[in-house]
Amino acid sequence: MRAVLAGEGWGVPRGRLAVFREPHSVVLFRGDPDDFLEEISELLRSGHTGIGYFGYEFCRYTLDGPRLRDKGPATAPLAAFMFFGNDPEIITVPKILSRGSSLVEPEMSRERFLWMVERVRDYIAAGDVYQVNISQRFGFRSSISPDGILANVCLTQPVPFACLLDFSDFQVVSGSMELFLRKSGNLIISRPIKGTRPRLGDSLRDWEMVRELRESEKERAENLMIVDLMRNDLSKVCTPGSVSVPRLFEVESYATVHQMFSEVAGRLRDGVGLREIVEAVFPPGSVTGAPKVRAVEIIDELEPHLREPYCGAIALLRPDGDFTMSVSIRILLVRSGSGSFWVGGGVTWGSDPEAEYRETLVKAEALVRALGAAGWTG
């Protein structure tokens, strides 16, 4: 078992990997969230560094109200962490792309996805919600190892929060660009992403895409809804009046997409730690919708699949109580050469179903690249 972090969001220089080996302890979720969080907290207090994930369906224990359907057996635990007592080895990312044979297949028809978008719009028209994030899942088989997939992510689409979590019988690979939470002392920040345009491989056309994204009323409205949601969530654990929005509607460009982000910050109340923050804020608002509880209920109704690690959080937990969590998007869940990945987007009243479907395919392209595949079948 081991954990590999890549990206400046984790504090790892570009072109390098931080490899944590031989964990002191491994904590898997076994059904009791209080026991799970207490065991994590105890290991942190004893001086260990924790690296792992909270799966999306952990929201069963952090939100009041939603009762999620049974969608069949999960591939991986609901949440899992490794704890290390030693410093990581810093190595160089391989310079050559890992190549092999990969087959990628969508598990949902285009027609089903378009139907989900229309159903969300029906709920918006009825006044249930303002926005819901919906996703589709792809299955894959690949001869490329999880290490090779991570190397491909680093080489073809550098992002702030890449990682490989190797739990022996399954692996989680992520190429996320989104900061869910960063706690430093009593300061906490979140950088929700909402709003996407494709990269077009031409500087002039890319500039036009960035301008279009910045000026899009639909994307700004979508982004602002999630900013307001995050402000509300952080207010539950921050001192009154301390939550602010230092950055709004900014755009960052990556290998395959341009993305709009904002930043929400606050000062934590005395005595607030990991447990209180997770219970107040999880799951990330950018991958659920607003209002959050009703959005989660609609996601559960419409999506036929479990999200598992997707749309949860990958976390680097420090013994001093500070931590960094990414939103676990661009996730590949691997088991013995096969696995799944998920892509999705936020739906508002102004959403065009075909455009939302195409956006998921643009996002899938990055994961297909990481698998070394030319595209997908179906």
Q: Closest Cα to residue 102, out of 373, 324, 366, 300?
A: 373
Q: Tell me the domain boundaries of the chain.
A: 2-370
Q: Closest Cα to residue 91, out of 17, 191, 9?
A: 17
CA dist 316 and 82 (Å) reads 10
**Band (374; pLDDT cuts 50, 70, 90):** low
CA dist 95 and 276 (Å) reads 42
Quickly tell me which residue has 């001192």 as its tokens: 239
Which long-range contacts link 232-237 to residues 24+ away (Cβ below 8 Å)? 233/280, 233/281, 233/285, 233/292, 234/188, 234/190, 234/264, 234/266, 234/280, 234/281, 235/266, 236/280, 236/281, 237/188, 237/266, 237/268, 237/269, 237/272, 237/276, 237/277, 237/280, 237/281
Give the mean model confidence (pLDDT) for residues 303-326: 98
Q: What percent of the chain has pLDDT over 70?
A: 98
pLDDT in tens, 216-241: 988 898 899 999 999 999 999 999 99
On the question of pLDDT at 378 being above 70, the answer is no
On the question of pLDDT at 354 being above 90, the answer is yes
CA distances to 175, 191, 218, 277 from 14, in Å = 14, 20, 34, 29
- Among all residues, which ones are annotated catalytic? 178, 194
Give the mean model confidence (pLDDT) for residues 349-356: 93
Give the mean model confidence (pLDDT) for residues 355-359: 93
Q: Closest Cα to residue 26, out of 215, 160, 170?
A: 170
Q: Return the CATH fold of 2-370.
A: Anthranilate synthase (3.60.120)
On the question of pLDDT at 135 being above 60, the answer is yes
Distance of CA 122 to the CA centre of its chain: 26
CA dist 248 and 250 (Å) reads 6
Tokens of 58: 């952990």
pTM listed for this prediction: 0.94
CA distances to 66, 109, 260 from 120, in Å = 17, 17, 22
Residue 186: strand, helix, or coil = coil
In terms of pLDDT, which residue wins out, 165 or 196? 165
Give the mean model confidence (pLDDT) for residues 166-187: 97
**Identity of the amino acid at 170:** F
Distance of CA 199 to the CA centre of its chain: 20
